[in-house]
Structure 1
Amino acid sequence: MTTIEVRGLTKKYGPETVVDDLSFTVEPGQVTGFLGPNGAGKSTTMRMIMGLATPARGSVTIGGRRYADLPAPLTEVGALLDAGAVHGARRAYDHLLALAVSNGLPRRRVGEVLARTGLEGVAGRRAGGFSLGMRQRLGIAAALLGDPRVLIFDEPVNGLDPEGIRWIRDFMRALAREGRAVLVSSHLMSEMAQTADHLVVVGRGRLIADTGMSELMRANGAGTVLVRTSDPGSLARRLTAAGATVRDGLENSLVVSGMTGEEIGKLAAYHGVALSELTPQLASLEDAFMELTKDSVEYQGAA
């Protein structure tokens, strides 16, 4: 099974360290979301994975080998780092054919990837006339030409309409189900919440979190319960004594963690405490992301 292994990766531009001792693994069979504020080092890391930038220290391997040492790179890793990296005067079919021929791939792959990305009907059109969504699809088609087991996408949904975003989301999931390792960066937290199985979060070039989606949500507020009662102080003491963590919420409510709604309800009933509300709370990925990266944002505006 082919993985991406990033170990101790460090990159400097002049005096500035943009990637700082970064280590993580991208496993096959899942979508790994690569998240971080602007300037966190995501794009630089992806460029180093692809051999487009040289690290000051550390290493990146794909299936145990550096990208530069892969005998037929397009058959092992495909990437979309810049959807605009195609000659505008070249037809979609010709663009893909040139890539296929120059990499020793069979011509039939051009038709196959055009079909898979929904571009069959525009194969004869020049790329310069494509919408952003169509250019993204063309870039994905190019990444798939060699049928690689590893795929890397840098901000693939930026600027797309809802239909295009949904298509890319479903496509990423389908690629992972085929056993491929998929690394995708994005600023859209709502999309990552529906797309990624695993998350790598960076800030100012350093690793902040390397965790499964469900684990991150549980650790950053998911699983709390909002409780309302006429005597919150008394209930809070009883909940704390039972091992829960309780903090004050809005409008005399309690926010409880460490106990399920069912457990809270049973405890309240045992002590004869009437509840007017008992609502499980689900933190969003955006909430968790903002909490994790609050100390790593380059510029913060006043509220």
Structure 2
Amino acid sequence: MNRIDVRGLTKRYGPDTVVDDLSFTVEPGQVTGFLGPNGAGKSTTMRMIIGLVAPDRGSVTVAGQRYQDLPVPLVEVGALLDAGAVHGGRTAYHHLLALAVSNGIARTRVREVLARTGMESVAAKRAGSFSLGMRQRLGIAAALLGDPQILIFDEPVNGLDPEGIRWVRDLMRSLAAEGRAVLVSSHLMSEMAQTADHLIVIGRGRLIADTTMSELTRTSGVGTVLVRADDPDVLTLKLAAAGATVREGLESSLIVAGLTAHDIGKLAAYHGIALAELTPQRASLEDAFMELTRDSVEFSGVAA
């Protein structure tokens, strides 16, 4: 089966446990988003998956084998973990050609991945002159070179402009639609909300959630209700007294958290306050993520 299986993975650096008894599966045919605050252990986990870091305990297999036991890893697993891992003096074409030749991949494949990643026009340029966004595209091209069924991307939209970000989103979706297993991390919650089918959320190296996108936002408990009332000031006082959190929204609306739309309607009716609108707002991925990881953030600030 073309999937990633992580079981009880643990990694320590001195007294610090970076990844702590972590287990999850990345299935084929979908994009799995890998989320967590800075320092949560995402990059270390990805490096353990492809054998760059040895776990202290636990196991990880790709396509049913350890990465280091794969005869030709590049045709089984493609990975972009560091866009800067390229010889700056080589052209984009020769960087990919060196990878192809050393892995027994047909030279014709180089032109194919250059075309798929929009790099044809800069194929003869040296990688050292590329912007971060262009290095990301080159790294994605390298990951696709062996036509693997398993793909791993760590922050692939870093340095990309809006058009590039949309291109990455569409690429991830198309790769999953082809039946590949795609694991991708990103700090852009709005992009993950539009890209991922499944989510793995970790904090301080431990699993927090392993769920679908829709289930996470549905059950997070951080949804709000948009309310418009004839007397918003009085309603705000009554809602606050009932334990709700209220903030001003656009066009004289109220954004209410802590009470359901049903409870808000009953409270307004009891106090004789007419409502013009009462609309539940499903939690965004960002809301759900912040709620899940609020106790796992390494550094937090206080708004002035």
When normalised by structure 1's length, the TM-score is 0.87
Cα drift, residue 192 of structure 1:
1.0
Post-superposition CA distance 1:132-167 (Å, at most 9, x none): 111111111111111000000011112222122111
Amino acid at match of 2:226: L
Matched residues in 2 for 1:206 and 1:95: separation? 37
Amino acid at match of 1:287: D
Cα drift, residue 264 of structure 1:
8.8
Matched residues in 1 for 2:64 and 2:134: separation? 34
Cα drift, residue 287 of structure 1:
1.2
C-alpha contact (below 8 Å) 1:34/1:199 kept by paired residues: yes
C-alpha contact (below 8 Å) 1:34/1:184 kept by paired residues: yes
Match of 2:88 in 1: 88
Match of 2:112 in 1: 112
Matched residues in 1 for 2:281 and 2:117: separation? 38
Amino acid at match of 1:8: G
Cα drift, residue 273 of structure 1:
7.8
Amino acid at match of 1:140: I
| Counterpart mapping for 1:171-186 below 5 A | 171-186=171-186
The question of 1:190 aligning with 2:187 is answered no
Matched residues in 2 for 1:255 and 1:19: separation? 34
- How many residue pairs get aligned? The number is 291
Q: 1:65 to 1:153 in 2, by over 3 A?
A: same
Computed over aligned residues only, the root mean square deviation of the Cα atoms, in angstroms, reads 2.7
Matched residues in 1 for 2:24 and 2:167: separation? 28
C-alpha contact (below 8 Å) 1:226/1:256 kept by paired residues: no
When normalised by structure 2's length, the TM-score is 0.87
Cα drift, residue 265 of structure 1:
7.8
1:55 partner SS: coil
Cα drift, residue 93 of structure 1:
0.9
Match of 1:31 in 2: 31
Match of 1:209 in 2: 209
Cα drift, residue 225 of structure 1:
3.4
| Percent identity of paired positions between Structure 1 and Structure 2 | 76
Matched residues in 2 for 1:200 and 1:174: separation? 20
Q: 1:163 to 1:73 in 2, by over 3 A?
A: same
Q: 1:97 to 1:258 in 2, by over 3 A?
A: same
C-alpha contact (below 8 Å) 2:8/2:22 kept by paired residues: yes
Q: Which moved more, 1:52-61 or 1:224-233?
A: 224-233
